[in-house]
Amino acid sequence: MAYYYKEPSRTFSEYLLVPGYTSEDCIPANVSLKTPLVKYKKGQEEPRISLNIPLVSAIMQSVSNDTLAIALAKEGGMSFIYGSQSVEEEAKMVAKVKNYKAGFVVSDSNLTPDNTLEDVVDLVERNGYSTIAITDDGTCSGKLLGIVTSRDYRVSRMSMDAKIKDFMTPIEKLITAPKDTTLKVANDIIWEHKLNSLPIVDDNGNLMYFVFRKDYSSHKNNPNEMLDKEKRFMVGAGINTTDYEKRVPALVEAGADVLCIDSSEGYSCWQKKTIDFIRERYGDKVLVGAGNVVDRDGFMFLAKAGADFVKVGIGGGSICITRETKGIGRGQATALIEVAAARDEYFEETGIYVPICSDGGIVHDYHMTLALSMGADFLMLGRYFARFDESPTPKLNINGTYVKEYWGEGSNRARNWQRYDLRGKSKLSFEEGVDSYVTYAGSLHDNVEKSLYKVKSTMCNCGVTNIPDLQKNAKLTVVSSTSIVEGGYHDVVLKTTNSNT
C-alpha cells in the first residue's frame, strides 16, 4: 500500500510569523543577512563561501546571464549562469563576470555611424541606457568613432532617418583614456572635466570599457560585494547530469566559484554519478550543489553523496507546471520544513552542516522571511530577478504596460531536456514550464534593497538580528482561509486617483 502523509503539504501563504520581543538593539541597521552557501564542519570558523545576502538567481535562460551576475554580486548575492547553452557560451559568460573590472563597463549599447536616429531611439527604449558607443563595426570592441547621448539629438526636431554620423559627438571631441588607466585616475578625469562617462580605448583606438560618473558612487555604496581573494566578482554556474565530463572542466577553467546541478528532481543515481566525477577529478577543490528534493530521504541521499548544498523545491516556480503534467511535487513550506529538520539531524550525526536553498514558491517579499525562518539558508529566485533591467530579456510594451519575457527551462522555448533527463530520448518529450511575461520592475539594486529592508524589519519584529537566530527562535502559525482574507484590506472602499486632476 502506498505511503500517505498525515498532513497536507502547505505553501508559504498558509503561514504567518508571530512577533517576539524587540529590544533596543533590534533595528534593521543591526541585522546581518550573512549566510553559508556551502557546507562546513562543526567548529570550523567560516564556510569556504558565505553569501552577504541570502539571494541567488535561478539557473534559467531568462534570468541568469553575466549582466545579472555582476549586478547581483555587487549587492552581495550570487548568480548561477544558465547551463542550457553550449559549453563554450556558458564558459564565456562565467569568464566575463570573473574578468569584469569593478567600475569598468563593457558597452551594451553600440551602433555604427550609418545607423539612424530611429535605431538610437529603439536601442534606448530596449536597453534603457542613454550612452551609445559608435564604433566602426557596431560592436562593443570596435574602433571608437564617437558616442551618442541624449544631449546629441531631439526627436521632436529631427528626422528619424537622420544618420548618426551627422549628430554624434565624434572621437575628436571626446576625452578618452588608455587601457592601463586605473579606476582612481579614470574618476579623477571624469570629475576634472565634468564628464558623465569616460571611454577606455586600447592602443589601436578600439573601445574596451566605459567608466561612468554614476558608478563611482554606486561602487562606494555596495559594501556587501561578493568578491573572491583576487577582488573579482564571484559567480556560480549550472551543470547537468549528461555532459558534465566536458562542461565541468570548461567552467572550472573559466573561473566559476561554485557549480550547481540543475535538475527538476535530484533524488537520482545521475546526480550521484555527477558528484562522484567531480570528487574523483578535483577532490573538494570544486564546490557543487545538487537538487532538487522535497523530503528527508532526498536530502540525506545528496548530503551523503557529497553535495556542498542542497536545493529544495519541486513544482513551486511561477512558470513550472511539473505538478500539473506529472503529479509530483510538494508544497514548498512543508518540503522546506522537513528538509531543514533533516539538515539539522545530519549536522548532529556527522558534524557537517550542509546548507539548504529554497527554490520556488516565493510570491511576496514576506515569503522570503518565512522561508528563512523555516530553515532555508538562502533562496533561489527566478521570476523575482527576471523583472529587472539587468536580466537577459528585452523590455517590451504590451498594451501600455512594460513587461519582460520570462520562460521556464522546461518550456518548448528553452528545450532544456537535460534538466529532466531520465536517460531516454535526447529531446523534450513534453513541457514542464510555460512561456510568459512578468511586469517590469526597474533596477536590481533598488528592488533588492527594498525587499531586504522588509526582511530585516520583520526579523526585528521577531526579536532577532541574524538568520541563525531567526531559524532557532521564530514562531510560526498556520493561518485559515478566513484569516488570509482578514490580512488584506477589507470592509472599505479604496480611493481612486483621477489622472485628469
Instruction: List Cα–Cα distances, 108 to 43, 284, 311, 429, 432, in angstroms.
Output: 46, 37, 33, 36, 33
Residue 454 burial class via C-beta count within 10 angstroms: exposed 0-12, middle 13-18, buried 19 and up: middle
Assess whether the previous peptide bond of 412 is cis (omega < 30° from 0): no
One-character DSSP codes across 204-273: TSBEEEEEEHHHHHHHHT-TT--B-TTSPBP-EEEE-SSSHHHHHHHHHHHT-SEEEE--S---SHHHHH
Q: Which residues are catalytic?
A: 320, 419
User: Which grid cell sits at 14?
Assistant: 498558509
Is-contact 61 405, C-beta < 8 A? no
Q: Which three cell numbers stand for residue 453?
A: 529592508
CA–chain centroid gap for 185, Å, is 32
Bridge-based pairing state of the strands 40-41 and 352-353: antiparallel
> Which residues make Cβ contacts (< 8 Å) with residue 42, sequence separation at least 6?
347, 351, 352, 353
Query: Strand 177-178 and strand 197-201: pairing?
Result: parallel
Burial of 462 from C-beta contacts in 10 A (0-12 / 13-18 / 19+): buried
Torsion (CA) 184, 186, 187, 188 in degrees, nearest 10:
80
Distance CA(82)–CA(80), nearest Å, equals 6
Rounded-to-5 percentages of helix, strand, coil across the chain: 35, 20, 45
Q: Of the candidates 310, 373, 314, which has an alpha carbon nearest to the alpha carbon of residue 347?
A: 310
CA neighbours within 13 Å on the CB side: how many for 187?
14
Concatenated DSSP letters for 178-194? ETT--HHHHHHHHHHTT
Q: State how far the Cα of 78 lies from the Cα of 58, in Å rounded to an integer.
A: 10
The helix (H) or strand (E) run that includes residue 177 is strand 177-178
Residue with cell 565634468: 194
How many whole angstroms from its chain centre is CA 307? 21
Here the cell at position 102 is 569593478
